[in-house]
Every structure is written in C-alpha cells, then in structure tokens.
Structure 1
Amino acid sequence: MSAEHTVAGMWAALSARDWDALKTFLARDCIYLDMPVGPAAAARGPDDIVKRLKIGLEPLASYENFPGLMVSNGTDLMYEHHEEWHWATGESAVLQFVTVHRVVDGKISLWKDYWDMGALANHAPPSWLEDFATADMSWVFDATGLV
C-alpha cells in the first residue's frame, strides 16, 4: 500500500471515528502530537493515540474530516485538510489543518497536526476546557527531542 493510501485510509477511519480501524494504520511506536501544544504532550502508540483523540472527538455530536491537498515524497506527506466539529449544545467549528505524516513499511510512524487552537477555543462550548481538565491523561508522552 502506498503512503498516500495509508494516510487517506487513516483519515477515513478517523472521520468515521472507527477507533479500531484507525489503529491498524499506526505503527506500534507512532508518535502523535498537536503542534500548538508541543512535543511534551504527545501520545505514542496506537492505544494511547486513540485515548488522546477520543478526548476531543468522542464527545462531539458529529465530526468529519474533509480531504484536501496531499503532497508526498513517498515517505513523508503533507496533508492540507479541514475538520468540522459539532457539539450537541449547538456550537460548531471549522478547523483548518496541515498535517505531516511519516509512513514506514505501510504504517504511520509520525503524525504532527498544525492548526489554530484559538479557532477551536473561540467556537467550543465553555465546558470544552473543563472536559480536558478531567480527562484521562495517561497517554501523555514527552516526545521532546524525538520530533
């Protein structure tokens, strides 16, 4: 499977919030991080990455990723896309992303999301940050020096 198909398949699984399918695209030691937060709050490995993703996405009434431009050198990919988040309380946000992936042996080994956290904070319900404060943070991995 090409790197492009691996990345597209992972994003399709994420858009469907199919957590088990998503894990199949991730290397055993894959590192995921939101660049606005930095490498000290990364997640490593499929199980912990899913724990991290669920904090933001599982409570949503709906979530969808919309594909955009994907540029690849065969191993490293840059993917410009956007996500739409909708909460049950009526708030919604459109988040613009550029994501960098590294694919090795058909699995994503590095996943870095670049996005504007203020765009989310300005549109999320007031409880959004409170939910993070009480979430399971056992996934936190300090990737400083690794990415």
Structure 2
Amino acid sequence: MSDAPSTTSTETLVAEFWKTLFARDWEHLHVFFGDDSVYWDVPAGPTLAAKGPKGIVARAKSVLDSLATFENDQIRTVSEGDTVMTEHHEIWRFSSGEEIVLPCLSVQVVQDGVIALWKDYWDMQTLMGPAPAEWRESLANGDFSWIVDATGNR
C-alpha cells in the first residue's frame, strides 16, 4: 500500500478512510485495502461480501455512487489494538428527494497498515423500506462481479 495515507494509529487510518468514503473518492479509496481485505455488510450476509481493493471499491460504488449526497454523522469511535469500532449515522439523499438516516456500527480490523476486515451492522428495513424503487432496481440489475463468500471471516 505505497500510496496509502501516512498514519500513526489504527484509529487515524480509519478516520482517513471515512473521510475518503464519504467524499466518494473512488480513485483514492482503494489505498486503504490489501488484496486479502474483506468488506461484509452483515445484514446482507457473508455470501454477498467483497474482497480486495478492486472488489471493495466496486461494491461501495455500486451502492453509493447514484446518491445525490452521502454524509456521515459520527457519534463515537472506540479503538483497541488492531480494532476500531465506529458508531455513526449515514445520511443518504436520493436525487428523487428521499432522505434516509441509517444508524450503523462499523468494525474495522487493521493489519499491516490496511483495513483487513470491515464489517457494517445496520437494519436492512431502515434502508430498503423508504429507498426509491429506481435505486432498488439499479441494485438488483447492477454488476455483481465483486461478490465473494466471507463465511468464516471474523
């Protein structure tokens, strides 16, 4: 990860990651992940995970790129050893006017200077219930080349 941000701690690395993700800086997001890194949206299950920089960025982009805005209301961060847990609200605004505030708990495990494991915990109905039909359809018809089975990744 030669072009990764310079960090002094796991918490700093994760904070830089969040800034990059919420800016939807797809060109820079990959630097936070290694080839074996895994992203797992826990409500979707381990069989719909993404792996490696290319897969993780493709996964994030497929869900977030069409939003009008994507913001973060960070509540608290707890860090111990290689693990950072972030409680936050993601604010999803769609071009059709809908706004969803999605409470999340994110867990990231940092190893060898990259996020080796990223798991997001949130409620599926809070997001999918009020989400516009067009957005849900775009997810269903999107590119799923990033899908891997993360069963056993802890």
TM-score (norm: length of structure 1): 0.96
Q: Percent identity?
A: 48
Question: Which deviations, in whole Å up to 9, do the C-alpha atoms of 1:8-57 show, x marking residues without a partner?
Answer: 00010001000122111112211001000111110000111111111110
Q: Name the SS of the counterpart of 1:96 in structure 2.
A: strand
Once superposed, what is the RMSD of the aligned Cα atoms? 1.0
For residues 24-39 of structure 1, what are the structure 2 equivalents within 5 Å?
24-39=31-46
The one-letter amino acid paired with 2:92 is: W
The one-letter amino acid paired with 2:29 is: L
Which position in structure 1 is the counterpart of 2:77?
Answer: 70
Structure 1 stretches of 4+ moved >2 Å: none
Q: Does 1:141 align with 2:141?
A: no
Which position in structure 2 is the counterpart of 1:126?
Answer: 133
The one-letter amino acid paired with 1:28 is: D
Report how far residue 66 of structure 1 moved: 2.1
Which position in structure 2 is the counterpart of 1:47?
Answer: 54
Q: Name the SS of the counterpart of 1:67 in structure 2.
A: strand
Q: Does 1:93 align with 2:100?
A: yes
- Aligned-partner Cα distance in 2 for 1:104–1:21: 19
Which position in structure 2 is the counterpart of 1:11?
Answer: 18
- Aligned-partner Cα distance in 2 for 1:68–1:19: 24
- Aligned-partner Cα distance in 2 for 1:63–1:71: 23
The one-letter amino acid paired with 2:91 is: E
- Aligned-partner Cα distance in 1 for 2:84–2:151: 21
Which position in structure 2 is the counterpart of 1:57?
Answer: 64
- Aligned-partner Cα distance in 2 for 1:25–1:65: 18
Which consecutive residues of structure 2, in runs of 5 or more, have no partner in the other structure? 1-6
Report how far residue 127 of structure 1 moved: 1.6
Which consecutive residues of structure 1, in runs of 5 or more, have no partner in the other structure? none
Q: Name the SS of the counterpart of 1:29 in structure 2.
A: coil
- Aligned-partner Cα distance in 2 for 1:46–1:38: 20
Q: Name the SS of the counterpart of 1:137 in structure 2.
A: coil
Which position in structure 2 is the counterpart of 1:108?
Answer: 115
TM-score (norm: length of structure 2): 0.91
Aligned length: 147
Q: Name the SS of the counterpart of 2:120 in structure 1.
A: strand
